[in-house]
Amino acid sequence: MTSASRYTYLGPEGTFTEAALRTLPEAATRELVPMVSVPAALDAVRGGEAAAALVPIENSVEGGVTATLDELATGKPLMIYREVLLPIAFALLVRPGTALTDIKTVTGHPVAQPQVRNWLAAQLPHAVWESSASNADGARLVREGRYDAAFAGEFAAATYGLQPLVTDIHDARNAETRFVLAGRPARPAARTGADRTSLVVWLGDDHPGALLELLQEFAVRGVNLMRIESRPTGEGMGRYCFSVDCEGHIADRRVGEALMGLKRTCPKVRFLGSYPRAGDGPDGRTGDGVGPLLRPGTTDADFVAAADWLARCQDGRA
């Protein structure tokens, strides 16, 4: 297959990322290539070796996946076109014949640890945790004898010749991880009415009210923020950029004008895409596919009417 039909993902085989990728209808016609890390998966897209990469970006327990947030904020620009929500529950995978009392070392992805911390403290209080590149990679390391057990998806057991000693492990019920499909920049996905827009914003200088000024660009236009996280820029202590998700599409007048306001006042804004919100609806959109509840004065029609009024004032027709 050519690079145009190749998707990369955080591997190896048997990760939750692979499971999420396989929920996309187009995955059945693509070559799915596991990569050793989030940067490697995204760099394959930047280098033209793949059309897109699916990577984890946010967990309902642990929050943002920093490797993904930082990779999307730096390097050659990429754009998000789809998102996938996947319910997460772990299994404790072991080599055949291993009992719970035999387990002295466990492994898993760093994001997994906060999701099983209480279970681990109650059931394996003396086991030593060491992080692995992914949950599936942890399973591989157990197969090789480097650890006694790994927290991974139950579906990974057969791939690595392991047995699920305990299943359905989670400290928080209904835990989910959000994954995004990123490709090279192009026209954003079509507006659906139930969309999310992602971007990264840098502040010009650190002064009282700087973050408030950023937030007001959204607030005064009635744009709901779904997530905002600060990330260090690497340029020194106290230097941060902000990873932002807002409700709506760049084609919505309220969202477009908010982004223009940020571009006017901030030294750098990186647009990461507008795309359909994932959810439990049959069409993959949020719930029943219903869009945001807009406050009076924030619809596209309201923005058009205000622009027409201004034009009439300028022409002496008001």
Per residue in 21-78, pLDDT (tens digit) is 999 999 999 999 999 999 999 999 999 999 999 999 999 888 899 999 999 999 999 9
pLDDT at position 1 is: 59
Q: Of 160, 186, 212, which one is at a domain's C-terminal end?
A: 186
Q: Are residues 72 and 130 in the same domain?
A: no
Tokens of 192: 């659906």
Q: Are residues 198 and 314 in the same domain?
A: yes
Q: Are residues 125 and 82 in the same domain?
A: no
CATH of the domain at 36: 3.40.190.10
Q: Are residues 119 and 98 in the same domain?
A: yes
Q: Are residues 77 and 102 in the same domain?
A: no
Q: Are residues 83 and 10 in the same domain?
A: yes
pLDDT at position 189 is: 86
**Res. 284 pLDDT band, cuts 50 70 90:** very low
pLDDT per residue as tens digits for the range 79-121: 999 999 999 999 999 999 999 999 999 999 988 898 999 999 9
Compute the distance between CA of residue 88 and CA of residue 61 in angstroms, rounded to an integer.
10
Amino acid at 294: L
Q: What's the whole-number average pLDDT of the chain? A: 90
Which of 42-56, 196-210, 294-308 ranks highest by mean pLDDT? 42-56
Q: Are residues 181 and 196 in the same domain?
A: no
Q: Are residues 197 and 277 in the same domain?
A: yes
Q: Are residues 150 and 21 in the same domain?
A: no
Please report where in the chains the tokens 């390391």 appear, as a residue: 141
List own/partner pairs for 116-123 with CB under 8 A and 24 or more apart: 116/90, 116/151, 116/169, 116/170, 116/171, 117/171, 118/171, 119/169, 119/170, 119/171, 123/166
Does the structure show a pLDDT above 90 at 179?
yes
Nearest-Å Rg of the Cα atoms of the chain is: 22
For 53, 68, 73, 211, the CA distances from 236, given in Å and listed in that order, are 31, 21, 17, 18
pLDDT per residue as tens digits for the range 213-259: 899 999 999 999 999 999 988 777 768 899 999 999 999 999 999 99
Range of the domain at 210: 187-318
Q: Are residues 125 and 12 in the same domain?
A: no
Q: How many CB atoms lie within 10 A of CB 96?
A: 8
DSSP secondary structure string, 82-144?
A: EEEEEE--EEEEE-TT--GGG--EEEE-TTTHHHHHHHHHHH-TTPEEEE-SSHHHHHHHHHT
pLDDT at position 95 is: 97
Q: Are residues 18 and 115 in the same domain?
A: no
Q: Are residues 165 and 253 in the same domain?
A: no
Please report where in the chains the tokens 């993904």 appear, as a residue: 68
For 15, 20, 78, 132, 271, the CA distances from 107, given in Å and listed in that order, are 14, 21, 31, 6, 36
- Looking at the structure of the chain, the number of domains it has is 3
The secondary structure element, H or E, covering residue 159 is helix 156-159
Compute the distance between CA of residue 24 and CA of residue 18 in angstroms, rounded to an integer.
10
CATH of the domain at 221: 3.30.70.260
